[in-house]
Amino acid sequence: MKRLAATLFALALVLPASAFAQDAAEETDFDPAHEWEFKTWGPELKIGPIDMSINKAVAYLMLGTIVSIVVGLVFMRVRIGRGPTRRQAVGETIYEVAQVQVAEQGLPTKAIGRWFPYVATLMIFIWVINMLGFIPLPLSDERWEIGGIRVPTLAIFAATSTLSVTLALALMTFVFTHVEGIRENGFVRYFKSWIPDVPKAMLPLIVPLEILGQFMRLISLSIRLYANMLAGHMLILTFIGLIFVLENVFLAVIAVPAATAFYLFEVVIVVSIQAYIFAALSAIYIGSAIEPEH
């Protein structure tokens, strides 16, 4: 059974390659900037200036939301029996990472009750979206024909490799940080805590830097996740793509193992680390707003 699953998985990994080959033959003219554009699926839904239509990233986000809800329900709602089941063990591991490594590292004890759900949700949600990005799914913009039916090609794409998605997540943390800081310390005391303890003559130099630093957090938080996922996908596709661009099948001897190595590196390390980092930094930022050092 296990062997069968492994074979099927390997076959599934091979499938996108054929799709790419077909695609490369069709396409003659090409502009790299088009890679960052999304085609709208179905009707355009515009509410005023806000574009609500569905595209690839939105579809992945919806799928990610469903999967993370299912993951939460399956692993957290375990009936406690006589001995711990496997499901319970996995659920407890997830909970422990969220509790000990993420929440307790950044948040002060009094705020854990209120902000633990947020950081734990962030962790699971980002992990699920990142992970979906490395499973070939038929959700791409390109189509190819199997038996007369045009189906989307299997492709790997992570919703978190779009800047809008990560910026929205980072913006949420940014807003929560300041709302919580003002609510906990009062308006004046909170913004006073931004001014560090330095000689008066230095203040005009330091204060703008501090304020800039608050906004740099927003940028660094969003760009880190975005660029990590984008670079991961680009590395894998670059190595596979070498075969098609240089039109030499024998390059596969080098390209496929290299792509597999990067794929494994991304799946095993980067996906989890990025989810953990995003949640941990959110916890640290919110925690530092609740209890300023000065």
Partner 1 sequence: MLSSFFFLAAAEDGADAGKAIALALGIGLGSLGAGIGIGNIFGSMIQAVARQPELRGELTGIQWLGFALTEAVVFYGLIGGLLAYVLI
> Which residues contribute to the site for partner 1 (CB under 8 A)?
20, 23-24, 27, 30-36, 101, 105, 142, 220, 223-224, 226-228, 231, 234, 237-238, 240-241, 244-245, 273-274, 276-277, 280-281
Cβ proximity to partner 1: between 190 and 279 the closer is 279
Cβ proximity to partner 1: between 33 and 50 the closer is 33
Closest CA to 236 of 250, 251, 222, 257: 257
Cβ proximity to partner 1: between 31 and 145 the closer is 31
- Residue 121 beta carbon to partner 1: minimum distance, rounded to whole angstroms: 19
Residues β-bridged to residue 151? 144
Amino acid at position 204, single letter: P
Please state the φ and ψ torsions of residue 51, each to the nearest 5 degrees: -90, 115
Tell me the angle at which helices 56-76 and 163-185 cross, rounded to the nearest 10 degrees.
60
> What is the C-alpha separation between 144 and 141, in angstroms, rounded?
10
For residue 78, count CB atoms less than 10 angstroms from its CB and return exposed for 0-12, middle for 13-18, buried for 19 or more.
Answer: middle
Cβ proximity to partner 1: between 24 and 78 the closer is 24
Beta carbons of 280 and 172 less than 8 angstroms apart: no
Cβ proximity to partner 1: between 78 and 284 the closer is 284
Please state the φ and ψ torsions of residue 192, each to the nearest 5 degrees: -65, -30
Cβ proximity to partner 1: between 24 and 267 the closer is 24
How far CA 276 is from CA of 49, 177, 282, in Å, comes to 34, 18, 10
- Residue 191 beta carbon to partner 1: minimum distance, rounded to whole angstroms: 26
Residues β-bridged to residue 150? 145
- Residue 258 beta carbon to partner 1: minimum distance, rounded to whole angstroms: 14
Beta carbons of 130 and 229 less than 8 angstroms apart: yes
- Residue 244 beta carbon to partner 1: minimum distance, rounded to whole angstroms: 6
Cβ proximity to partner 1: between 115 and 144 the closer is 144
- Residue 77 beta carbon to partner 1: minimum distance, rounded to whole angstroms: 27
- Residue 219 beta carbon to partner 1: minimum distance, rounded to whole angstroms: 9
Site of tokens 């680390």 = 273
Q: Which SS3 state, helix, strand or coil, does residue 150 take? A: strand
- Residue 172 beta carbon to partner 1: minimum distance, rounded to whole angstroms: 19
- Residue 277 beta carbon to partner 1: minimum distance, rounded to whole angstroms: 4
Using left for φ > 0, alpha for ψ between -120 and 50, and beta otherwise, residue 147 falls in left
> What is the C-alpha separation between 41 and 47, in angstroms, rounded?
16
Cβ proximity to partner 1: between 21 and 264 the closer is 21
